[in-house]
Chain A
């Protein structure tokens, strides 16, 4: 009864589509893969080249500053980073950090304009919202497959998958933040003769800043979770240690690398949150 039509070849279609995209845009993908890959290697290597003690001091100082001259976060950063160093995962940490920073920055650069677009146009909102839902609910692993098709393996496809997975919160929160700006303030800026961009940059974005920052915080955390998963397609870093520990059933190593990720997550999270409250004040 339900077999009134043969199986619809969706999977075949997607495969065909991915092949088409890979072929058609290889002129674009290949340079990205090479140049951008080299760039990320360079960033990670540079970070690794800095003596760990200097990195720890800088992070602790920044932590002290962003948390409003409190010692908690700074102390945690020192102990946490030292522990990762002590366990021999320093270089992996630097790779993970590079991936997180680069994919978060790209997510924000891409996400904020889309959020603005959504806030300005009901049509754009209606179109983009379901796409964001799709991006967020699709199991993250699925993105790894086309990422490999486009960019083979390594850090670049990791960043690509992370972009898809981690950008939605920034888009959503930017939209929300701008829509929440009080109507009277928008009216005030219009009543004084603002152009659209004056209204956006002088009133709406500043007013929406803390909401947008909350979205960016989410994006950064999702990036982190994604770059760990991206180790499955050869992205280096702490995630790869977890993966290899899993494959060899080394509970201890897996746990330690996992702790490293947790420490990094906590530091990044507190940093972005504190930056937000600092701005709000």
Chain B
């Protein structure tokens, strides 16, 4: 069952919004509308549904309207047109009292720059939502403490925000949002202000929490890695418009249009990850010393279906497969050269992730990373996928 259903939601900033909406209907672009009416289109006819317990990521570059869109959901920004249904109620049309009730009980928000109240202690910050609801001091402290415990800040309740690191501050932001026990969490670039390692920790933690909480999360980000890591579904925005909604796989494999495709590629390139980052030390055999029997033995030990063959100077010669090697052993062939395959998929250590992806796609064996004919390492499919999802694993493998 969908918790939030958004239909034709639009926001036009400016005075002549009616005219601008008319032009939008005629399919005019954002620039044309700005020129003709002086209005800026923030969000253009967004429609989507978010299921209960789903992590729905809205991704786009800056200026794509994603932050506006999330603010339309809880009406921090008044929609120009369209509906936001939460439990059959159209938030875009309800009166102030109902809106306030929904904000207090059903939707909480986590902000990019944390938006903690500097004059309040951590506990008082976490209590804020409950205090607004007029809940008794004792009960709200108890709930706020529980939610601070949940994010691992139970010992910091009497500190003040400026005494905590960025990551911890955002935990407080999260705890403040969770203390209300909302159905929906709106997270506006919640982790974007954190440095990469902390960001990854927070993503992990959010996923862990989500396991047990099963909240409906709407997560805004400009970071494809982040979107892929945490999103059950991803909506891609451009110029205020949602250009594609789909699972991470769908977005990567079937980009809906050129924009999405470029986005996916750009992100790959921007990661500056190359073969060097994700290769592993290979198990190899020496063609000058070993025969099929040794090859088979090593493959069995390492659990491989093929193995790379080098000479004593680690010059890459080719690979043998387990099938060929056992065939050779049966037929008493001693010379590896007879079963050596030389159609090796190779890349250099500077090959980008995107290009590796193309090579590994059609390759039955791991890719060899070669420099001046010497084998430096191999890349297995799993490493590529791990690298696509987040750089963290790659660094660990590398270490």
Contacts and interface: CB of A to CB of B under 8 A. Distances in A.
Nearest to A190: B76
Contact of B119 (A189, A193, A195, A207): A207
Interface in B89-103: 100-103
A100 to B, nearest CB: 29
Nearest to A191: B109
B119 A191 contact: no
Contacts, number: 61
Given A193-B133, A203-B117, A207-B119, A188 B111 contact: yes
A202 B101 contact: no
Interface stretch (B124-132, B209-217, B332-340): B124-132
A209 B118 CA distance: 12
A198 B128 CA distance: 11
A192 interface: yes
Nearest to A188: B115
B104 interface: yes
Interface in B62-108: 71, 74, 76, 100-105, 107-108
B132 A188 contact: no
Contact of A191 (B76, B101, B105): B76
Interface residues of A, number: 18
Given A191-B103, A206-B119, A184 B113 contact: yes
A187 interface: yes
B119 A192 contact: no
A55 interface: no
A70 B130 CA distance: 40
B147 interface: no
B221 interface: no
A194 interface: yes
B69 to A, nearest CB: 15
Contacts of B104: 192-193
Nearest to B134: A198
A193 B132 contact: yes
A193 B109 CA distance: 11
A194 B132 contact: yes
Contacts of A195: 100
A189 B259 CA distance: 36
A184 B103 contact: no
Contact of B117 (A185, A190, A198): A185
A203 B107 CA distance: 20
B180 interface: yes
A62 B134 CA distance: 37
A198 B117 CA distance: 14
Contacts of A185: 115, 117
A198 B104 CA distance: 13
Contacts of A202: 117, 128, 131-132
A187 B115 contact: yes
B133 to A, nearest CB: 7
5 contacts: A190-B76, A191-B186, A192-B104, A195-B100, A203-B117
Interface of A: 182, 184-185, 187-195, 198, 202-203, 206-207, 209
Given A193-B100, A193-B101, A202-B128, 7 more contacts: A182-B115, A184-B112, A189-B132, A191-B108, A193-B104, A194-B100, A206-B119
